[in-house]
Chain A
Amino acid sequence: MTSHSANSTHTQVSSHQDKDRAQNFASDFSFKKHVAYFKRSLSMLPYNYTETDTSRMTLAFFCLSGLELLGVLDEEISAADKQDYVDWIYAQQILPDTADPSLNELHCGFRGSSWPGRPFEPNATHTTYQSYDSGNLANTYSALANLILLGDDLSRVNRDAIVNTMRHLQQKDGSFVPTYGSMESDLRFVYAACIISYILNDWRGVDIPKAVDYIRRTQTYEFGIAQSPGEEAHGGSTFCGIAALALTGKFDEGLVSRKDTIYWILSRQLDGFQGRSNKPSDTCYSFWLGGALEILDSFQFVNSECNRGFLMTTQTMYGGFAKWPDCPPDLLHSYMGIASLSLMHEPGLREVDPKVNISKRAVEYLKTQTVFWRGGPVPLK
């Protein structure tokens, strides 16, 4: 089943159209170098990415979603490779334990890579409990997004198990932790929980009023959104909060002042965007804040020329984008650079749907070709 869906992915766009698209790129945009950068990262990263050992799933997302926005995902990755990648992703799924399903109840979802040393089993239906082996909300989100991008129909995802685990990850204050027992409860994982629920078309794992209340309490006197209540308004958490409200459809309940939040975001534009008041521009905020503005239907107030001009200074000669001008590229900023240009309708790029953070084409695929959407939403009790 998955093999079939991987082969038939996104067939509506032919490679001819992709080539035409490539030729349409502006001369200062290093299209080919970016494609090469993502492709080479997809197969091997240098040792200085060792710190991402537990987040490889997310790095894979940057590569796959980057190639998708560049319009070349189907052309550059063969059906056979897609199938292998889909299998690798499924091999990272933590499922209920064979003998006692309650053993993994707190740990279902996807881990970020194969680091715990489990045998490679992409078609498993159960996972024997092992201490310290657990799924993680951020990686579960990345895994699901990757499966969509690779044309899988999500049929091997154990939705009930993920949803059940998520219930244990939400805290009393409405926030989420990424893994059971972690102390990192903040807005990043509220967004992760919401996007997972959206992709699974199932909101039983999130107490929405509590999550929305938490988002409301993270808005500061500046009207930007902080990572946790009391902290400083920040571009990344502002994206998480706004996108989570868009996914839950709760703007009225969740925003203290929509107008003032838009003002705060717009005031972050220098040439590109800064993430906080009085910080320098940084590539990723062109997406975090640009995306938030698009969701709030206010992207037209952005000075796109200035924004694009800044991004052209962080585009590197190796392909990819850096955080700041004259710095080396990294995958996060490379993806964010491309996604920012997509928001500004850079010729040749596919359009991104900011709240889901994948192309509109992939969102369409999610809604029409994956098992959880074909069956309709799971009713909330």
Chain B
Amino acid sequence: MTWETMMGLEVHLQLATESKIFSGSSTQFGAPPNVQADAVDLGMPGMLPVLNEEAVRFAVKFGLGIGARIGRRSIFDRKNYFYPDLPKGYQISQFFSPIVCEGVFEVPMEDGSLLPIRITRAHLEEDAGKSVHDIFNQESGIDLNRAGTPLLEIVTEPDFRSAEQAVAYLKALHSLVTYLGISDGNMAEGSMRCDINISLRRTGSDVLGTRTEIKNVNSFRFVERAIHSEVERQSDILDSGGSITQETRLYDAERDETRSMRSKEVANDYRYFPEPDLLPIEIDEAYIDAVRASLPELPAAKRTRFVSEYELSDYDAALLVPDHATAAFFEEVVSLGGAAKPAANWILGDLSGALNRADLTIESSPVSAEALAGLIGRIEDGTLSSKLAKQVFDGLWQGEGATDEIIAKRGLKQVSDTGALAQLVDDVIAANPDQVAQYLAADEAKQKKLSGFFVGQIMKASQGQANPKLLNELLIKKLNDQS
């Protein structure tokens, strides 16, 4: 039996406001327990919510960013359930009339294609606090610092068929929200959390299977692994004639498996109803226009522009664009005179490798855009071979100065002097008569291969500084002269 995987994602995105969605408490991460929870956040008797304008603006930015319809009159509702990290016994959310309505988000896939994902809705709500289980013996500790942090919950249709698609969507979403400046999208700190709805259906059938929901998966890698393990679990059950129980599951990364959540055993009935402490949010055309005017260039437009303006491949553009800082670094290198294609190669190759090894972001790169542009210039004008350039790059990384200084200090200028090179070539030819004879006897294809031996010997003799292009020309000429 073959099964088709049907998945929809719900992403909880913490919005990067200074204060909470309904109170004036700070949203900063990492404070001691309960010092960033005021009377509103604690749900103290008589306290009332007052809506943060920035949370509304961020939600509208997101809606415009994915080309979704903005709810002109959106309404907050109470979602009722009991849990110790939910102070009021209800979460203020949006159920009936969300602020962002349907839209389509085009996700760039690795092969350069775009995967359209239907966004069902995105709504504003407040985050819950945290339960801490490892400090006390008999009890759990409740920290409500996070309670009231604004969240945008982004819900898709069940449009994903593979883990790869889901991860690509999450990466594209991460890129979009950081471009918009509405969230830091940090999955490790919980700024972006993902719930995955998974069901399987018989290939070719259009009847949806029973779904499970995997809650709070907190990295791209775990999303991929959680999906694989849950798909395997479900298909094993279905293959052996069993049926899937609709339930909430948790992904256990250590065991690489999903398991049923005990705390959700009591069937929930959220009893949504309009939040009487808040009034409808009305958003007019002028507001939307103003927000639209404030939007930066978004990843999709930037990819297109990089291809047309810098003649980059779709592949390079797709790699440079997602991280806003990387794209900016690239454009800075180019604006300082670095040629576009080599700039892309250096950034995506040596630079990003070195940054990864050093666990640095591009904003704190020891090699500045100016330095990289200088290096590329010296390659373009023939001063450096690509091999020597790597040594200069190393010098730039170590902070040994600008490109020209390093070339001088390390004596890395390539030998482009025809007389000096000719002498080297002559010496090597003279020292290896057997190889010369072999060369001359070979056919054209074989000659190409054999010439490598001489190039290697000459490079060695020049300590790597021979200009390879010039060397090749001289060598072929001189070898042919031997016949």
> Do A and B share a complex?
no
